[in-house]
Amino acid sequence: MATHGGDEVSALVLDIGSHTTRAGYAGDDSPKAVFSTSYGYVPHRPPPEAMDETGANGELIRQPRASTTTYLGEQGPNVWRPNMVVTNPFSEGILTDFAPIPHIVKYAIVDSLRCDPTEHPVLVTEPTWNTKANRERMAEIMFEDLQVPAFYIANSGVLNAFAAGKGTALVIDVGKSMASVVPVVDGFVLRKGCANSTIPLLVRAQAYSMLTQPTPHREGISLLPHHLISNKQAVDPGLPPRFTYREDRASQTTDTWRTWAEHRELDEWLANVSAVMDGGWNEQIAQTRPVKQYEFPTGYNTFFGADRFLPGEVYFNNSHMAAPDLPAPLNSLLNTSLGACEPDLRAQLLSNVVLTGGSSLLSGFSERIVNELTRSYPNQRIKLHAAGNITERRYGAWLGGSVLASLGTFHQLWISKEEWQEHGKSIVGQRCK
Amino acid sequence: MAASAADVRDILSLPGPSNVASTTLKKSSSSMAKKPEGISRELYSLIGNSAPTLTAQFAKPRLKQRPDLGKGKVKWEQQEFSNSARADGLKLKHWVKVGPDNNKEYPFAKYNTTTTTYTYSLDEYTRLLEDPEWTKEETDYLFSIVKEYGMRFYIISDRYDYPGGPPRTIDDLKARYYSICRKLLRTRPWAGDEATRQQLSNSYAFDKGGHHTVFALLILTMPLKEREIMRKDYIDHLLKRTPEQIAEEEALYIELKRLEQTERRFAKEREELLKTLAGIDSGLATISIEDDAANTFFGGLDKIKRSKKRGDTMEIDSPISSAQFSLAPAHSLRKTTTAKQVAQDLQLCIYRFETPAAAPNKAAHVPVHLRSTKPSIPKQNLAPKIYGALEELNINHQTLIMPTRNNLQQQQMLFDATAALIETKRVVDRVDQEIRVLKARLSGRKSEDITDAGGEETQEDAAVESQTQAAEESQAGPEGDAEAEGELDAEGEGEGEAEGDGDGDGEVEPEVEAENEDADGDAEMEDADAEGENEGGDEVDGEVEGEDDGEGDLDDEELEQELEQRGDDEDEDEEAEGEVEEDEGTIDNASEAPESQVGRRRKRGFSTSSVDTSGTMNTRASVKRQRNG
């Protein structure tokens, strides 16, 4: 249909992030399949024949790699398995391990969407700091392994801007492991103005140490997941938990799985309790904010007052943390990014700020961003677009991809299989600017 | 909704009322005619056989008509299509309505537009486009990347990466690209007319200044690239202002406005006071309220901050005063300001537009009128004199045959010139008178005191100078008049011709300017003269004050009176002179020199607008101090 410039060609959109992988049909408003990018595998497993029976369930994928099985999706790392190692193909926001990518892509397209990849053009996202080799490798996987008819790789910053309905925007994307500020002009990323850091990791580290370290008021909190607790009893707030640890699993639990599970609990806590002081750090005001009760899987529950604002503060100010080489906080990212842009552009960008990414959902985050920008750029008109819808905020890049891949005018940009065979890898750089 | 009998029958799945209906209908139709006696027609129609429920009951139940949408079923089909905007034969599938025109062009292919970019041959490059800073290869690269990114220079400069080339800013790239485009446009044969070519060429001008009109004219002389860099520099500075600086600026702005207001109020009060004391218009030059410097500085700010009240500063820039006297000074003031401004404006990148002589504001708004109904009239108090002078020169001032805009202007200028002439004449007369008086005094004093003769002589010199000036001026005056007259005549002759007016205008204009300058020159001279005259007056006052001094303290009231006297018309000045003549005998020679200084200072306090609201008060204080010291 040619209304609103859209023309559906049943394209698929695949957004592989460091936390979750999102897949769905172009033109939809939310991804059909969302699963963790982290995957589990059990090293040195006995012959794969034994796995074939369980593999029929769909959650298990036969792993061509040296006699191991990759566990993906809902039944992936989320299920405790003896000696299962959990890893993530991303490090510092960039794909470094391409071995599991074909499995992840297949899991997303074939197992989750139940699509035949040879019939659908696929649009894949990439972060701004992606390398040339990476995008070419992704194209190779798509064309060679999945035999897609057409492929395109789009910048997630641009897609986030599109998802917000803007061609020119300053995209602040705060993800699970990376925070980035990307200026987008006319649908192109200004590469010189991009700034990113691993500040979200620092925030999680801070939250982790804050919770697990004992304080004068309480003992260190255990972030044991449900998988390792056989039973528990209700306790009053602040009292030590009474639960039974699953000793039978203790010896077979790998460190990576445990870290993964603990960080999941941590994320849960961050999402439920943590917040950001919208007007900047102020101990007195933080004290007056309402306290929040939270119960951990162990049954331990307590009230969090001012300290629930501490981790979020790290996004904006880490000068109090005495450690070398700390990742840059968001406001310095903003200043770096805007400083690298032409003076003419700044006003335009500041009036089109787009805030996206799952970590930006902390309460008070968008207000704080506005406040920081107002402080750095007084007498400038600052307009922040932060989607109120949680799905839109978390899957902004996917949504932008969905918009882009369903546009009639976009279909001339696909890299077709024919072109891939004719030009090879260089076509990726030529086409996807 | 009430269920009808048909519904009930439906629910109970009873047989249809077809046979019953026919009989009852017959019966009802037969009984319809007669109406029992004693029952009103309305009541019978409700309870009788023709009750609507009954007829409805027998009607065949009908479903709502299905809307007729015309065509019937629409068939959709997933079809392969090829996009003509693509170079390869990629076939994608989309759902389309099945119809006859299935093999038509892909509707979105037409949006695949590219910007037209220039290309040049090697010959053209070597002939025209050589640049020591650019190699041919890099220029080629620039053109390819401009084409690739469709002239989006922000992105071009972001992606620009010529191996081995020097770092290029966006301005370098723009300057190079647009200069080449312009050169090519200029040298290549052009099919269309010159205007469109020029227009196109202008469109390739680097930074058209379209969105920053502030720069449009004043810096036009600067190289375009430098201008652009400067502009960005300013934006950068503007962005980098700290909140404190912004607050300070804001505070200063408010302070300035406040001072202006106080100044205006003060001026108004003083005017009132003078009016009540003297009973007539004070005749003092209207004081330009705003300080020139501040005006220049904040003129731009004003424009930005209060775009609504645009006329405000402009008005003050060019005060149009009602006083005959102030008309000329106003011009000279404006001239000096602009001269001063040009430098400052250049520095601050402020471009100010010339305001028309009558700045359109609400108070001075002129409704639509026929020009002939509103001939220019000289100032009321001078009108008889001016008319007299014109009579003398045999110029008919009463009828203007062609009241065109230009002619009216000319007439106005004629009046102005005549007024200036009369004024000059008056001044000359007075100076003559003064010289006579002073000479008399000199001769009288020479006999009295020989030692003080020097001081007197200088004063006399000044007086003589002013006289010569006046004389020169009076010579200049008639000339200006003659010119004006001649022009007017020329216009009159040109009337008959159809095109004469336009031609005449073209010829007249430079003359008008010249005359304007003349008038200004006159005004300046007059101004200087007036000063000289006033100094003379001050001296006179000084003498009077000296006398007072001898007696005792000087109070403000007396000063005020003196000020009034000075501010008053010539006649009173003459009176004052007369007084001086009377007081001549009691001159305190010792206090003369300082007193004249004081006088001058007071004068300054009066005529220039100082931001200090208590300007004159201060002057008064200093007067006292000097007198006491």
To the nearest whole Å, the CA of A80 is away from the closest chain B CA by 43
Q: Searching chain B, which residue's CA lies closest to the CA of residue A409?
A: B108
Q: Which residues of A touch B106 (CB under 8 A)?
A: 408
Split at pLDDT 50, 70, 90, the class of A349 is very high
Q: Which of B93, B96, B239 to mutate against chain A (most A CBs within 10 Å)? A: B239
Residue A233 confidence (pLDDT): 92
Contact with chain A for residue B72, Cβ under 8 A: no
pLDDT of residue A120: 94
Residue A433 above 90 pLDDT?
A: no
List the structure tokens of B369.
Answer: 């009128």
Q: Which of B138, B129, B125, B130 is nearest to B166 (CA)?
A: B138
User: Helix B170-187 vs helix B224-240: angle between axes, to the nearest 10 degrees?
Assistant: 150
Pick the closest to residue B302 from B287, B314, B318 (CA basis). Answer: B314
Chain A positions touching B209 (Cβ under 8 A) are none
What is the pLDDT averaged over residues B528-537? 40
ipTM value, please give it: 0.85
Of A9, A375, A378, the CB nearest to B92: A9
Q: What percent of chain A has pLDDT over 90?
A: 70
Query: Within an 8 Å CB–CB cutoff, is residue B45 touching chain A?
Result: no
- Within 13 A of B585's CA, how many CA atoms are on the CB side? 1
Lowest mean pLDDT among A57-61, B102-106, B165-169: A57-61
Start-end of H helices in B376-450: 383-392, 405-448
Which two three-digit tokens encode residue A168? 């020119």
Average pLDDT, chain A: 89
What Å distances lie between residue B529 and B101, B112, B432, B477, B478, CA to CA?
92, 75, 13, 14, 18
Q: Which of A275-289, B306-320, B467-481 has the highest mean pLDDT?
A: A275-289
| Residue B488 Cα, gap to closest chain A Cα (Å) | 54
- pLDDT at residue B342 above 60? yes
What pLDDT sits at residue B585?
37
What values do phi and psi take at A417, rounded to 5?
Answer: -60, -40
pLDDT digits (tens, 9 = 90+) for B245-291: 888 888 999 999 999 999 999 999 998 888 888 765 545 544 444 44
Residue A287 has pLDDT above 50, yes or no: yes
For the cut 70, the answer to whether the pLDDT of residue B468 exceeds it is: no
Segment of A334-343, B2-11, B571-580 carrying the highest mean pLDDT: A334-343
Instruction: Report whether pLDDT(A63) > 60.
Output: no
- Report whether pLDDT(A35) > 70: yes
pLDDT at A114: 94
Tell me the percentage of chain A whose pLDDT exceeds 70.
94
B80 and chain A in contact, CB less than 8 A: no
Range from A233-237, A299-303, B13-17, B196-200 carrying the lowest mean pLDDT: B13-17
pLDDT of residue A314: 92
Q: What are phi and psi of A274, to 5 degrees?
A: -65, 155
Question: CB distance from B153 to chain A under 8 Å?
Answer: no
> What span, in angstroms and rounded, lies between the C-alpha atoms of B268 and B266?
5
Give mean pLDDT, residues B519-548: 39
Better-predicted residue by pLDDT, B534 or A356: A356
Cβ of A2 within 8 Å of Cβ of B107? The answer is yes
φ, ψ of residue B606 to 5 degrees: the values are -85, -45
**pLDDT at B369 > cutoff 90:** no
Tell if the CB–CB gap between B159 and A378 is shorter than 8 Å.
no
List Cβ neighbours of A5 (8 Å cut-off, separation of 6 or more): A407, A408, A409, B108
CA gap B92, B107 in Å, rounded: 14
* Cβ contact A186–B90 (<8 Å): no
Interface test with A, best of B79, B80, B86 (most A CBs within 10 A): B86
One-letter amino acid at B95 equals W
Worst-scoring range by mean pLDDT, A351-360, B229-238, B337-346, B454-463? Answer: B454-463
Q: Domain ranges in chain B?
A: 76-110, 114-210+217-240, 245-279, 375-447
Closest to A378 (Cβ–Cβ): which among B83, B235, B243? Answer: B243
Count of Cβ atoms closer than 10 Å to residue B396 Cβ: 10
Residue A6 has pLDDT above 50, yes or no: yes
pLDDT attached to residue A172: 95
Is the Cβ pair A377, B235 closer than 8 Å? no
The band of A157, judged by pLDDT with boundaries at 50, 70 and 90, is: very high
pLDDT confidence bin for B16, thresholds 50/70/90:
low
Torsion of CA A63, A69, A72, A77, to 10 degrees: -160
8 A C-beta contact, residue A241 and residue A299: yes
**Inter-chain CB proximity B89 and A418 less than 8 Å:** yes
Q: Which residues of A touch B113 (CB under 8 A)?
A: none
Taking 60 as the threshold, does the pLDDT of residue B550 lie above it? no
CB contact under 8 A, B246 and A379: yes
Q: Which residues contact A273 (CB under 8 A, 6 or more apart)?
A: A292, A294, A304, A308
B420, B383, B422: which is closest to B526 by C-alpha? B420
| Beta-carbon contacts of residue A400 (< 8 Å; ≥ 6 apart) | A154, A156, A158, A159, A160, A161, A162, A163
Flag if B83 and A377 touch (Cβ within 8 Å). Answer: no
- Tokens standing for residue A196: 């990113």
B-facing residues of A in 74-133 (CB < 8 A) are: 121
Residue B72 or residue A238, greater confidence: A238
Nearest-CA distance B231 → chain A (Å): 9
**Among A360-369, B244-253, B423-432, B563-572, the least confident range:** B563-572
Q: With CB atoms and an 8 Å threshold, state whether A8 touches B94.
A: yes
- Residue range A77-98: mean pLDDT, rounded: 90
Asked if B239 lies within 8 A of A346 by C-beta distance, the reply is yes
Say if residue A293 is exposed, middle or buried (CB neighbours under 10 Å; 0-12, 13-18, 19+).
exposed
- Quick one: average pLDDT of A311-323? 86
Top residue of A4, A7, A335 to mutate, by most chain B CBs within 10 Å, is: A7
- Nearest-angstrom CA–CA distance, A386 and B608: 57
Give the three-class secondary structure for B619. Answer: helix
Does B86 contact A121 at a Cβ distance shorter than 8 Å?
no
Write down the pLDDT at residue B150: 86
Instruction: Specify burial of residue B432 (Cβ count, 10 A radius: 0-12, 13-18, 19+).
Output: middle
Q: Is A342 on the interface with B (CB under 8 A)?
A: yes
Q: Are the Cβ atoms of B86 and A416 closer than 8 angstroms?
A: yes
Helix axes B592-607, B556-567, angle to 10 degrees: 70
Size of interface A-B (CB pairs under 8 A): 92
Chain A, 184 to 223: residues with Cβ < 8 Å from chain B are 185-186, 188, 190-193
Q: Are strands A292-295 and A301-304 parallel, antiparallel or unpaired?
A: antiparallel
A378 part of contact set with chain B, CB < 8 Å: yes
When CB atoms are compared, the residue of B83, B239, B241 closest to A412 is B83
Contact A412 B243 (CB under 8 A): no
CA distance B321 to A363: 63
Asked whether the beta carbons of residue B241 and residue A149 sit closer than 8 angstroms, the reply is no
Neighbours of A39 (CB within 10 A): 26
In the structure, what pLDDT confidence band is assigned to residue A394 with cuts at 50, 70 and 90? very high
SS3 B78: strand
- Mean pLDDT of all residues in B616-625: 43
- A39: phi then psi, degrees, rounded to nearest 5: -135, 160
Nearest CA to CA, how far is B202 from chain A (Å)?
Answer: 22
Cα distance between residue B297 and residue B302, in whole Å? 9
Please state which of the ranges A411-415, B126-130, B618-622 shows the lowest mean pLDDT: B618-622
Q: Which CATH architecture has domain A199-315?
A: Alpha-Beta Complex (3.90)
- Distance, in angstroms, between B232 CA and closest chain A CA? 6
Please indicate whether residue B592 or residue B238 has the higher confidence score (pLDDT).
B238
User: In the predicted model, is pLDDT for residue B420 greater than 60?
Assistant: yes
Sequence-ordered list of residues with C-beta below 8 angstroms from that of A51, at least 6 positions apart, any chain: A45, A60, A62, A69
The model's confidence at residue B454, banded by pLDDT at 50, 70 and 90, is very low
**Residue A408: its chain B contacts at CB < 8 A?**
106-108, 111
pLDDT digits 0-9 by tens, B281-332: 545 544 444 444 444 444 444 444 444 433 333 333 333 333 333 333 334 4
The mean-pLDDT minimum among A309-318, B63-72, B82-91, B582-591 falls in B582-591
Q: Which CATH architecture has domain B114-210+217-240?
A: Orthogonal Bundle (1.10)
Please tell me the predicted confidence (pLDDT) of residue B102. 62
> Is residue B478 pLDDT above 70, yes or no?
no
3-state SS string over A50-97? HHHHHHCCCCEECCCCCCCCEECHHHCCCCCCCCCEEECCEECCEECC
d(C-alpha A178, C-alpha A138), whole Å: 20
Contact B152 A190 (CB under 8 A): no
Chain B residues close to A1, C-beta within 8 Å:
95
**Any CB–CB contact under 8 A between B158 and chain A?**
yes
% of chain B residues with pLDDT over 70: 45
Which of B74, B78, B79, B94 best probes binding to A when mutated, by most A CB atoms within 10 angstroms?
Answer: B94
Q: Kindly state whether A358 is in contact with chain B, defined as any CB-CB distance less than 8 angstroms.
A: no
How far is it, in rounded angstroms, from Cα A390 to Cα A356? 10
Q: Give the one of A5, A380, A412 whose C-beta lies nearest to B86's C-beta.
A: A412
Task: Answer whether B112 sits within 8 Å of A5, measured CB to CB.
Answer: no
Q: Band of the pLDDT at B155, cuts 50, 70, 90?
A: very high
Alpha-carbon distance B153 to nearest alpha carbon in chain A (angstroms): 10
Nearest CA in chain B to A4: B108
Min mean pLDDT across A226-235, A321-330, B420-429, B451-460 is at B451-460
Residue B38: the pLDDT is: 79
Are the C-beta atoms of residues A148 and A118 closer than 8 Å to each other?
yes
B233 vs chain A: nearest CA distance in angstroms? Answer: 8
User: Which residues on neighbouring strands pair with residue A363, listed in sequence order?
Assistant: A275
pLDDT of residue B390: 82
Tell whether A310 lies on the interface with B, counting CB pairs under 8 A. Answer: no
State the pTM of this model: 0.60
Chain B hits for A433, Cβ within 8 Å: 148-149, 159
**Of the ranges B157-166, B374-383, B423-432, which one carries the lowest mean pLDDT score?**
B374-383
B110 touching A, CB under 8 A?
no
Q: Are B505 and B438 in contact (CB under 8 A)?
A: no
pLDDT of residue A161 exceeding 90, the answer is yes
Q: Does B86 contact chain A (CB < 8 Å)?
A: yes
Chain B hits for A7, CB-CB cut-off 8 Å, are 94, 107-108
Banded model confidence at residue A153, pLDDT cuts 50, 70, 90: very high
* Residue ranges covered by each domain of chain A: 199-315
Question: What is the pLDDT of chain B when averaged over all its residues?
Answer: 63
> A13-17, A387-391, B427-431, B451-455: which has the minimum mean pLDDT?
B451-455
